Structure 1
Amino acid sequence: MAEVVQGARVALAAPPKSPSRKRSSPEPEESTTTTDPTTALTTTTTTNTANTSEERPQKKTKLIRRKRRPARPQIDAALLASKPPPQTGTTFNIWYNKWAGGDREDAALSKTKALGRCNVREDSGWTAADKQQSGGGNSQVFCLFFARGICPKGHECTYLHRLPGVHDVMGQAGNSTVDCFGRDKFSDYRDDMGGVGSFLRQNRTLYVGRIHVTDDVEEVVARHFAEWGAIERIRVLTGRGVAFVTYVNEANAQFAKEAMAHQSLDHDEILNVRWATLDPNPLSQKREAQRIEEQAAEAVRRALGEKAVRQIEGRESREEVQARRIESSMGLEGYQAPDAICQLL
C-alpha cells in the first residue's frame, strides 16, 4: 500500500511533457501538386492555346490595286493607206482632194460608214502621254483617232486613250479656245454645224440625224451615246428621225461627236452627227443661263477660298469673328476697328 502511494506521488511530481514550440520548415505536401491527369491535361492545353494566340500573327488585309493595262492598237496601219477618190467629174481639185465639173452629187448618199468604232472597255489604257509630266507635251490632249476607233499605235501613242474625266474638264476650263483633242476652235460655227465648233459658246448638245425609227428608239439612242459620258437629257423627234443629246460636260460631247460620226445604231443607218444650234425654247435658255451662273459662282468660290466665302455669306463662327477683330486692331491696345474695316480683312 505504501509503495502504491509513493508511486502516485512521483507521477504527480513529474511535470507533463509540453509539445515543442520549435516549428520546422513545412515539407512539401503532395496535395499541392495536381496529381489528377485530367486536370493536368486541361491546364497544359489552356497554356498552349494562350501561347498559340500570342504567337499567331495579326490578320492583315491586302489591298490589291488593279494595274492599268497598256492601250492596244485598234487597227492595222496598212488599212489606213489613203486611196484616191473615185472620179465623179472632169477636173481634179488638189486643194479639196475631190473631182469638180461633173454632176452634183448628193452629200447624204455619198457618206460611207466609218472604218472602225472605239470600244472604251477594251481599247482604253495607258499611253506615252500618261508618262509625261502634267501640263507638258500632249499629256492633256486626247487622241482623235482613238475616238474614231482607228489608232494603230496603241500604248506608243503620244495622246491619251481614255474618256475625258472631271479632272480633265477642270484642267481645260481655263482654255476654251481648243477642244479636248487640241484642235483650235473658231469664232463662229460652220454653215453645216460641223467641225470643231466655236469658242464663243459652250455647246454640250449634239444633233443626231438619219436615225432608223423604231418603237424603242429612245432607249437605243441612250444606250449608244451613254458610252461616251454622263448625259443630262435626250430628246428624240420620232417623226423626223432626229435626236438631240445633251451631255453634262462639253468635253464628253466633243468626244462623242467624233466617236459616233458615220456610225450606226442597231441598224445599218449612217448617222449624221453635228453640233446643235441654240435652243429657241425660253425655258431651255433660262436653264442654260442659270447653269452658267452657278458655274461662275463655283469658280469664284474656289478662287476666294472657304474662309472668305464664309465671311461674305455671314457664316463665320464666333471664334473667327473675334480673331478678325483682333487682327484689325493693328496691335494697338484699346483700339477697335470699325465694322467696315473688319469686313475688308
Structure 2
Amino acid sequence: MADTAVAENPAAAAETAVNELLEQSEAPEDPQTALTQPSSDNTAVATTDGDAPQKKTKKIIRRKKRPARPQVDPSTIKSEPPPQTGTIFNIWYNKWSGGDREDKYLSKTAAAGRCNVVKDSGYTRADKVTGSYFCLFFARGICPKGHECEYLHRLPTIHDLFNPNVDCFGRDKFSDYRDDMGGVGSFMRQNRTLYVGRVHVTDDIEEIVARHFQEWGQVERTRVLTSRGVAFVTYSNEANAQFAKEAMAHQSLDHNEILNVRWATVDPNPLAQKREGQRLEEQAAEAVRRALPAEFVAELEGRDPEAKKRKKIEGTFGLDGYEPSDEIWYARTKEIEGASGQQQLQIENSEQQQQLLEASHAQLAASETQQSGGGILSNSTIAALKGYSTVAKPAPANLGGSLVAYGSDDDSE
C-alpha cells in the first residue's frame, strides 16, 4: 500500500507516522481547543512483518488564551488631579463630590479613546479570581495595563452576577438618580435602558444606532425619536447596559457627534410597563423553578407522565372514562382544604373541652380533700366503703359429690 509504512522496528515506524501527521495537519479555527482527526488520505499506518493490527493516530492542538493588550501607551499617562466638578474633594475616592450635575462643557468634550472588543479583549490577572469586576478604563478604551490589570477585560455575560448595590465595575450605587440621570445609578430599580442624546438624524439612523450599541451586548429593543434626535436602547442584561453606558459616553456614531448617554427614566407607556411586569414575573418564575427539585417542577408543569397518569386515576371520582376539568379540580381542592380546616377546628374544640373537664375534676378532688380534714380518702369514699362491708355475702354453692347424676338428653342412654 502507498500509505503504509513497513519497518522492522515498530517504534520507529510509529514515530515516522506521527511526524507525517504533524506536518500535514492544519491549525483549527477554534482559538481555545480543537481535536483534529486525520482523514483516510493522510492516515499513516505502522505494521510489522506479521499480521499486527493497524494503529491510527490523532493530534490534539491546544492554544492558549490571548492576553489582553494595553489600549494606550503607559508612558503617555499623566497623573493629574481630576477637574473640579463638585464642591468638596473626597480624598478617599480621589474625586469631587457635592455636585448633582456634570459640567455642561465637559460633557461636550470627545472621549480620549474607544474600546475595541475584538482586539482588546483577553485574559488578565482577574480571570484567576472569582467574582472580579470589569475594568472601567477598558470600557473607555484607555487602560494601559493590559494583561497585568486587576480587572476583567471582556464583555459581561449573563453568568456574571454581582451584588445589586454595585455595578459591574464595582462602584457603589445610590438610592436616587442624579438630576441629569448620570452617574452609577440607583439600587432601587433595575435599569436596562439607556438614553442617548445629540444623535445626528439621518434616514438610516435606526440601523446606525443598533449597529453601534449591539457591539456591547444583546439589545432587546431600540427606539429612535427622529424629531428630537434621541434614542432609547434596552439591553437584555443589566451589566451590559452598565458597560455600554461607559463605553459610549462622549463617543460618536457616523457623523462625529458627541453623544450624551444617560440612564433612562421610567417609561410612562402602559404597554412598556406591562412588558416590564411580565419580564419580572418570568424572572421570578425562573428563580423558583431553579430552587425547586426537577421532579416537582415537571409535575407542576405537566411534563411528568407518571403524574399525569396518577391524576387521571385519582380524578375520575368513581366514574369510568370521566376526566374532570381544572375548575372541578380547583373546587375539590377548596373543599378538601375547608374540610381539613373544620376538622382541625373540631380537634381544637375537643382539646379545650378535655382541658376544662380535667380542670373541673381537679377542683372537685381538691374540695373533697379539704372537707375530709386532709386525709387520703374523702368522706364520701369512706361512707361507700362502710356500706359495702355491711352487705351480706351469699353462701357458696355445694360443689362436692360424685358424677353419677351426670346424664344426657338422649333417650338411647
For the criterion TM > 0.5, the same-fold answer is: yes
Alignment deviations for residues 121-180 of structure 1 (CA, whole Å, 9 cap, x no partner):
000000001122x2xxxx431011100011111101111000001211xx33xx211111
Is 1:285 aligned to residue 273 of structure 2? yes
SS in 2 for 1:95: strand
* CA deviations over 1:81-125 (Å, ceiling 9, x no partner): 2557899xxxx9673989xxxxxx981576211111100000000
Q: 2:203 aligns with which of 215, 219, 239?
A: 215
Over 3 Å counting, the alpha-carbon distance change for 1:281 and 1:114 in structure 2 is same
Q: Which residue of 1 aligns with 2:244?
A: 256
Q: What does residue 167 of structure 1 align with?
A: 159
Q: Residues 248 and 54 (structure 1 numbering): CA distance in 2 closer, same or farther, change over 3 Å?
A: farther
Task: Determine if the alignment matches structure 1 residue 81 to structure 2 residue 75.
Answer: no
- Alignment partner for residue 299 of structure 1, among 254, 272, 287? 287
- Give the direction of change, closer, same or farther, for the CA distance of 1:281–1:319 in structure 2 (3 Å limit): closer
Q: 2:235 aligns with which of 247, 251, 259?
A: 247
Maintained 8 Å contact 2:197/2:231: yes
Taking every aligned residue pair, what percent have the same amino acid on both sides?
70
Q: Determine the C-alpha separation between the residues in 1 that align with 2:66 and 2:293.
A: 38
Return the match for 1:157 from 134, 149, 155: 149
Matched to 2:89, the amino acid is: W
In structure 2, distance between residues paired with 1:320 and 1:231: 40
In structure 2, the partner of 1:200 is: 188
Question: C-alpha offsets along residues 1-55 of structure 1, whole Å, 9 cap, x if unaligned?
Answer: xxxxxxxxxxxxxxxxxxxxxxxxxxxxxxxxxxxxxxxxxxxxxxxx9x89965
Partner of 2:127: 130
Match for residue 139 of structure 2 among 147, 163, 175: 147
* Displacement of 1:238: 1.2
2:222 maps to 1:234: yes
Summarize the Cα distance change of 1:280–1:93 in structure 2 as closer, same or farther, 3 Å threshold: closer
Are 2:297 and 1:309 aligned?
Answer: yes
The separation in 2 between residues aligned to 1:79 and 1:265, in whole angstroms, is 26
Q: Tell me what 1:275 maps to.
A: 263
Supply the RMSD in Å over aligned alpha carbons: 3.2
CA positional deviation for 1:307: 1.5
Distance (whole Å) between structure 2 residues aligned to residue 296 and residue 141 of structure 1 = 25
Q: 1:217 to 1:192 in 2, by over 3 A?
A: same
Aligned partner of 1:248: which letter?
S
Letter paired with 1:279: D
Q: Secondary structure at the match of 2:72?
A: coil
| 1:284-330, Cα deviation, whole Å (9 max, x unpaired) | 000010000000000001011212212334543438998xxxxxxxx
Which of 175, 179, 183 does residue 167 from structure 2 map onto? 179
Cα offset, 1:59, TM superposition:
5.6
**2:151 partner letter:** Y
TM-score, normalized by length of structure 2? 0.56
Residue 85 and residue 227 in structure 1: after superposition, are their counterparts in 2 closer, same or farther (change >3 A)? Answer: closer
**Could you tell me which residue of structure 1 aligns to residue 179 of structure 2?**
191
The whole-number CA distance in structure 2 between the counterparts of 1:52 and 1:243 is 77
C-alpha distance in structure 1 between counterparts of 2:139 and 2:65, whole Å: 19
Q: 2:64 aligns with which of 39, 64, 67?
A: 67
- Alignment CA distance shift 1:208-1:52 (3 Å): farther
CA distance in 2, matches of 1:83, 1:58: 64
Structure 2 Cα separation of the partners of residues 72 and 264 of structure 1: 24
Which residue in 2 is equivalent to 1:119? 116
The alignment covers a number of residue pairs equal to: 257
Q: Does 1:95 align with 2:89?
A: yes
CA distance in 2, matches of 1:206, 1:198: 14
Change (3 A) 1:302 1:162: same
Greater RCO between the two (CA within 8 Å, min separation 6)? 1
Query: Counterpart of 1:118 in structure 2: which amino acid?
Result: C
Counterpart CA distance in 1 for 2:82 and 2:289 is 54
Query: 1:80: Cα distance to partner?
Result: 3.1
Q: Which amino acid aligns with 1:243?
A: A
TM-score by length of 1: 0.67
Cα deviation code 1:261-306 (max 9, x no counterpart):
0111112111100000000100000001000000000000101121
> Which one-letter code corresponds to 1:240 in the other structure?
R
Structure 1 unmatched runs, 5+: 1-48, 99-104, 323-338
Q: Which runs of no fewer than 5 residues in structure 2 stay unpaired?
A: 1-46, 97-101, 311-332, 338-413
In the alignment, the residues of structure 2 paired with residue 188 and residue 53 of structure 1 have an alpha-carbon distance, to the nearest angstrom, of 82
Does the 8 Å contact 2:196/2:231 carry over to 1? Answer: yes
